[in-house]
Amino acid sequence: MTAVPAEDPEERRPAWREQTAAAIGLLDRPLTSYYLVLGTSVMLLALGLTMVLSASSVKQLQETGSAYALFQKQAMWMAIGLPGMWLASRLPVKTFRALAYPLLLLSIVALVLVLVPGLGRSAGGATRWISFGPLQLQPSEPAKLGLVLWGADLLARKERLGQLTEWRPLLMPLLPGAGLLVLLVMLGNDLGTTLVLLTIFLALLWVVGAPGRLFVGIIGLVGLLVSILILVEPYRMQRLTGFLDPAGDQLTTNYQGTQGLFAVASGGLFGTGLGEGRAKWDYLPHAETDFIFAIVGEELGLVGTLVVLGLFGVLAYAGLRIARRVKDPFTRLAAAGTTAWLVVQAVVNIGAVIRVLPITGIPLPLVSYGGSALIPTLIALGMMLAFAKREPGARQALAARGPGPVPRALSWLGLARR
């Protein structure tokens, strides 16, 4: 009899295992972070522009006669922000460090101007905007980027000088600087942005290895400040009591939260269809800004909401991957601070919509309507792209790719011609 050769175990490996191994292998490539940040940013932008049109069309048609009014404005902000993102992705790290102090100073001046009667504009119980005729600016949004850059530069300098071993040099002047920003935002009654600024501050301390007892003290202080902010403003107390008692008054205190939850629940698995939602027909306030995630849930269903969550999860992974792989202290700190800013803001926004967190009134990054939030976010993501190029082997990989972004992306996916 002829002997049958033994079958190689590698030949019996299922196809799905080979595909999984190939997908995991992509994560080890030098340009993984670069393409993950770029890809998630583009997809969230496209989704956001689509949902702004859908969420605002009915109200804008009633008020202006054009269903495309806010869509056109958002497209204009995007047309301004995308070149800023591209430019930031090509800047050297030293440029970001040079911009840190001027941006922080301009943010402080602008936040002071918000509090000047006649210049500041209030809405929803918070004074957040400066009015320049038809143009409105929300200074607290670029202040987030300013705090990231300034805090990262400050701590990187102290790390180089070996001054991070004791808590006093660690906190000075980072704590007073961050505290001034927080105070100015608090005076404008903007609790949501206050929490994001504090998140950036804590993320920077975490990356440099601040002792645990320092976090306990700071978190205790933050809890005290938040409690004071809630107690001094009746509308915040109403939001908190409404969150703690969701079965309470459904027509006043809990109206927005209830309508948002109804919108998400009515979407089912696949949603009612793009543009077919009912909540935007004067049922859900601020559907295109703070509660745009509810419109996503209603029109795109559970699948749409999971896609949004997945995209922010990928963005968080890419940001932390950059922070872990780069060697420059400033780059590591700025990448971690930016990631904490965007991801925590997304979590707070989504948590408010699905009623696991109180309503704070902050937008969903890249998705909600608003140029003051969109442009600094795009610049911050461009900065992340610049940082991703500094990962080990990234510059060499970029140089080895084709002359344009499409050939580079195809090569990274293994689809380009050999």
For residue range 263-292, what is the model confidence (pLDDT) as tens digits? 898 888 898 988 888 888 888 888 888 899
pLDDT digits (tens, 9 = 90+) for 187-210: 777 778 888 898 899 999 888 887
**Rounded Cα gap, residues 134 and 118, in angstroms:** 14
Question: What is the reported pLDDT for 296?
Answer: 94
Q: Tokens in use for 187?
A: 């005076």
Question: What is the reported pLDDT for 251?
Answer: 64
**Rounded Cα gap, residues 74 and 373, in angstroms:** 11
Is there a contact between 87 and 378 (Cβ–Cβ < 8 Å)? Answer: no
Q: Which long-range contacts (CB under 8 A, 24 or more apart) does 55-59 make?
A: 55/277, 55/280, 55/287, 55/288, 55/292, 55/295, 55/369, 56/280, 56/287, 56/288, 56/369, 57/275, 57/280, 58/280, 58/281, 58/282, 59/280, 59/282, 59/287, 59/288
Residues of the chain with pLDDT under 70: 1-28, 120, 122-127, 132-134, 229, 232-253, 393-394, 396-418
Question: What is the reported pLDDT for 418?
Answer: 41
> Model-level pTM?
0.86
Question: What is the reported pLDDT for 136?
Answer: 76
Question: What is the reported pLDDT for 9?
Answer: 52
Q: What is the DSSP letter of 402?
A: -
Give the domain ranges of the chain: 31-398
Question: What is the reported pLDDT for 116?
Answer: 78
Please, which residues have CB within 8 angstroms of residue 209's CB and are 6 or more apart in sequence? 164
Kindly report the three-state secondary structure assignment for every residue of the chain.
CCCCCCCCCCCCCCHHHHHHHHHHHHCCCCCHHHHHHHHHHHHHHHHHHHHHHHHHHHHHHHHHCCCCHHHHHHHHHHHHHHHHHHHHHCCCHHHHHHHHHHHHHHHHHHHHHHCCCCCEEEECCEEEEEEECCEEECCHHHHHHHHHHHHHHHHHHHHHCCCCCCHHHHHCCHHHHHHHHHHHHHHCCCHHHHHHHHHHHHHHHHHCCCCHHHHHHHHHHHHHHHHHHHHHCHHHHHHHHHHHCCCCCCCCCCHHHHHHHHHHHHCCCCCCCCCCCCCCCCCCCCCCCCCHHHHHHHHHHHHHHHHHHHHHHHHHHHHHHHHHHCCCHHHHHHHHHHHHHHHHHHHHHHHHHCCCCCCCCCCCCCCCCCHHHHHHHHHHHHHHHHHHCCCCCHHHHHHHCCCCHHHHHHHHCCCCCC
Q: Specify the residue for token string 């050999």.
A: 418
Question: What is the reported pLDDT for 123?
Answer: 63
